[in-house]
Amino acid sequence: MKTKKIWWKGKIGYGDIISPICYAHNQAEINKQNVELNFYFEHEEGTKFKEDDSETINDRIDFITENMLVEHDFKVTVNQTYNYVFPTNHVGYNDNPRSLHNLAFSKYKWKEGDTIYLITPRKNKKQFAEYAPQKAWKDEGHWDDITNDLKLKGIPWEEIHYQTPLKEVCEKLSTSRFVIGYHGGASWVARWLGVPMWIRSQRREWSEEIFPWNKKRKSESLKQFKKVLDEREKYLRRV
Looking at the structure, do residues 48 and 8 belong to the same domain, yes or no?
A: yes
Looking at the structure, do residues 80 and 120 belong to the same domain, yes or no?
A: no
Task: Please report, in tens digits, the pLDDT of each residue of the chain (239 residues total).
Answer: 799 999 999 998 899 999 999 999 999 999 999 999 999 999 999 888 777 778 999 999 999 999 999 999 999 999 999 999 999 999 999 998 999 999 999 999 999 999 999 999 887 666 665 556 778 889 998 999 999 999 999 999 999 988 899 999 999 999 999 999 999 999 999 999 999 999 999 999 999 999 999 999 999 999 999 999 999 999 998 74
Residue 99 maps to a domain: no
Looking at the structure, do residues 120 and 231 belong to the same domain, yes or no?
A: yes
Looking at the structure, do residues 209 and 158 belong to the same domain, yes or no?
A: yes
Q: Is 232 exposed, middle or buried (0-12, 13-18, 19+ CB in 10 A)?
A: middle
Rg (C-alpha) for the chain, rounded Å, is 18
Looking at the structure, do residues 139 and 214 belong to the same domain, yes or no?
A: yes
Looking at the structure, do residues 120 and 14 belong to the same domain, yes or no?
A: no
- Domain limits for position 181: 116-237
pTM of the predicted structure, to 2 decimals: 0.94
Residue 166 maps to a domain: yes
Sign of the dihedral defined by the CA atoms of residues 106, 112, 113, 114, in that order: positive
What pLDDT is stored for residue 125 in this prediction?
Answer: 61
Which of 43, 74, 91 marks a domain boundary? 91
Residue 161 maps to a domain: yes
Which of 91, 106, 124 marks a domain boundary? 91
Looking at the structure, do residues 128 and 214 belong to the same domain, yes or no?
A: yes
User: Which residues neighbour 102 within 8 Å (Cβ) at sequence distance 6 or greater?
Assistant: 18, 19, 20, 22, 23, 26, 95
In tens, the pLDDT along 53-98 reads: 789 999 999 999 999 999 999 999 999 999 999 999 999 999 989 9
The one-letter amino acid at 197: M
Secondary structure E strands in the chain: 4-9, 35-40, 76-81, 90-91, 116-119, 157-160, 178-181, 197-199
Residue 53 maps to a domain: yes
Residue 110 maps to a domain: no
Looking at the structure, do residues 122 and 172 belong to the same domain, yes or no?
A: yes
Distance CA 159, CA 172 (A): 10
Distance CA 164, CA 161 (A): 5
